[in-house]
Amino acid sequence: MKKSWLMMLAVCGTATMLGAGDLTPEADVSFIGGDLKALKDAAGKAKVVPGRPAEISWVDDNGEKVIFFNGDMKVPHSAINIFSADFDCTQPFTLCIKVKVPAEVSKNHRNQLCQYGYGADKINGFSVYLFNNTLHCRYGYDSKTTISGNNKIEPIQPDTWIDTAVVYDGKSIALYINGKLVSKPNNAVIPKTKNNFSVGATASDRGYQFKGMVKNFKLYRQALTAEEVAALK
């Protein structure tokens, strides 16, 4: 009897560990390969549509062809649009994007990485961008409210691949660079909105664009812990 009980505990413990370690993305899009038409969601749930594809180029990075956004500010903007039909921005999520910013981009330039929602300066939903060598997330309804990273903790280095992560648990936003928490504790509530993810520009035609390379986009339908974010590659 005792042996059976111990075996049951072992099975339950193993199942719990497996569940805790199951970090499967809701959307997983690789921006490498050299062919825009071949871009797809490896998770098989999201639709990927390049916007203004003629202005999106590819650059060689250690033998890989990686997407490069030129940030030319032409209208309409070039972007990669990712449609995740079941995504609800009011529920916990984690958004991870791997980027490389050219040294020529001024640290005082708003380098627009990704948006879900509408607007440019005042936004509905949330908008992720780089500024002053760190990560920022603007959120709300017709809002300029912004959570900002601390560039003294983990500054963005030029011409270097960096891992960015935005974690929302339903009541606060945490920002990570290379697995390090760079934002302060906060109270943040993202309002209900419905749109696609726009990678490389704001959804507004007269908003902001990104200049640099983007290697991948991953969306998780859960608020990952600091340890889980640090373990992502």
Q: What DSSP line would sit under the chain, residue for residue?
A: -HHHHHHHHHHHHHHHHHHHT----SEEEE-BSS-GGG--BTTSSSEEEEESGGGEEEEEETTEEEEEEE----SSPPEEEEE-TT--TTS-EEEEEEEE--TTS-TTS-EEEEEEEEESSSEEEEEEEEETTEEEEEEEEEE--EEE--TTTSPPPTTS-EEEEEEE-SS-EEEEETTEE-S------PPP----EEESB-SSTTS-B-EEEEEEEEEESS---HHHHHH--
At 76 the pLDDT is 77
Domains of the chain: 24-231 (2.60.120.200)
- Whether residue 213 is predicted with pLDDT greater than 60 in this model: the reply is yes
Please report which confidence band the pLDDT of residue 8 belongs to, taking 50, 70 and 90 as the band edges.
very low
Tell me: the pLDDT tens digits for 67-110?
A: 999 998 777 789 999 999 899 999 999 999 999 999 999 999 99
Tell me: the pLDDT tens digits for 118-158?
A: 999 999 999 999 999 999 999 999 999 999 999 999 999 99
At 21 the pLDDT is 57
